[in-house]
Amino acid sequence: MKFSVVGHTTIDLIYVADHPTRPTPGGSAVYSSMTALRLNCEAIPVSKVGYDFPDEFMVWLSKSGLNTSFYVRDLNSKTTRFKLIYGANGRILKLLSLCNPITPRELENLPKVELAHVGSVAGEVGLETLKALRVKSHLISIDVQGFIRRFKEDGEVYEDGCLNHEILSNADVVKLSMREAKALTGAGEIMEMLKRLRKLYNGIILLTLGEAGSLCMVDRRVLQAPSYKPPKVVDPTGAGDSFTAGFTVEFFRSSDLKWSLAVASAASSFVTEGYGPSRFGLKDEVYERAGTLIDKIKEVAF
């Protein structure tokens, strides 16, 4: 099964307690692709990096098993680069540099794939590129983060809630964090967020709640899933990307919402155990953790 992720591969500088900071490859193109790969998919990221993207990062991506044939090195641009600072009050995210957008041309030779994920991190995937991907894939998931992020003069990231609704109409699965859902809907209470999101979009909605777990809404049905508590948490970067990839892969395989949510939570838990993209559970490991969650997923009143 082929799984393609479209979005910038980034250079991340991650600041977390008790760990030295070093540049790492990042972005949904890495975290979602690696998760899908560990779940026995052929992972084909479509990504663009700049002239400053380290050669050793590209070697690592290739040796990890990703199909890097659809990476473009833009010699006229720097790689998208973020600083991520984790503290007691959450995460501060700053954009340090931005690569040129990914265009429909970069998708021309992409083979037909069963699954695709739009993992935009900084507005690099536009509507025309999304439409080009739509005709290449059977099922598409979208993370709204890159479509509603805006940047202050110092690079600090915020969400403004302005989204072209045609973006959503090209998706089968839409994933949002609580912050993104609040920005998009203006609601402060979870169920009100879901009601307003349903008016914007009719497909599968995934709302991640951090340590509190996640919600999945299909039609008027809402499922609530706990997060899996790993033995240790080093770095939460990429957990949302891994969650979305895990859900998308398993839902395509099984059409079972509860199992797909369990796998998503389990897959994301492994990512938090390592610094950057250094820890991904193998399929059997993910399934083992998912098995401990499945009976804890409940339908809630909506």
User: Per-residue pLDDT for 138 more than 80?
Assistant: yes
Residues 39-87 pLDDT 10s: 999 999 999 999 999 999 999 999 999 999 999 999 999 999 999 999 9
Give CA separation, 216 vs 104, 167, 187, 205, in Å.
31, 19, 17, 6
pLDDT at residue number 155: 96
User: Per-residue pLDDT for 161 more than 90?
Assistant: no
Residues 6+ apart with CB under 8 A from 267: 35, 38, 39, 242, 243, 245, 246, 280, 281, 286
User: For the chain, what percent of residues have pLDDT higher than 70?
Assistant: 100
pLDDT at residue number 52: 98
CA angle 169, 192, 294 (to 5 degrees): 80
Q: Which two tokens stand for residue 160?
A: 């403004």
Q: Which H or E element spans position 90?
A: strand 90-97
Residue with tokens 């839409």: 174
pLDDT at residue number 302: 76
Q: Which two tokens stand for residue 195?
A: 């009601």
Question: Rounded mean pLDDT of 270-285?
Answer: 98
User: For the chain, what percent of residues have pLDDT higher than 90?
Assistant: 95
Give CA separation, 220 vs 204, 226, 228, 252, 261, in Å.
10, 20, 26, 21, 17
Q: Which two tokens stand for residue 127?
A: 């509507």
User: How much is the mean pLDDT over the chain?
Assistant: 96
Question: Rounded mean pLDDT of 221-235?
Answer: 96
Q: Which residues of 258-282 are buried (b: 16+ CB within 10 A; e: fewer)?
A: bbbbbbbbbbbbbbbbbbbbebbbe
Question: Rounded mean pLDDT of 218-235?
Answer: 95
pLDDT at residue number 189: 93
User: Per-residue pLDDT for 18 more than 90?
Assistant: no
Please give the model's pTM, rounded to 2 decimal places: 0.96
Residues 164-193 pLDDT 10s: 989 999 999 999 999 999 999 999 899 999
Ordered structural domains, the chain, with CATH: 2-8+28-46+102-148+156-300 (3.40.1190.20)
Sign of torsion over alpha carbons 47, 178, 252, 281: positive
User: Per-residue pLDDT for 15 more than 90?
Assistant: yes
Q: How far apart are CA 52 and CA 43, in angstroms?
A: 24
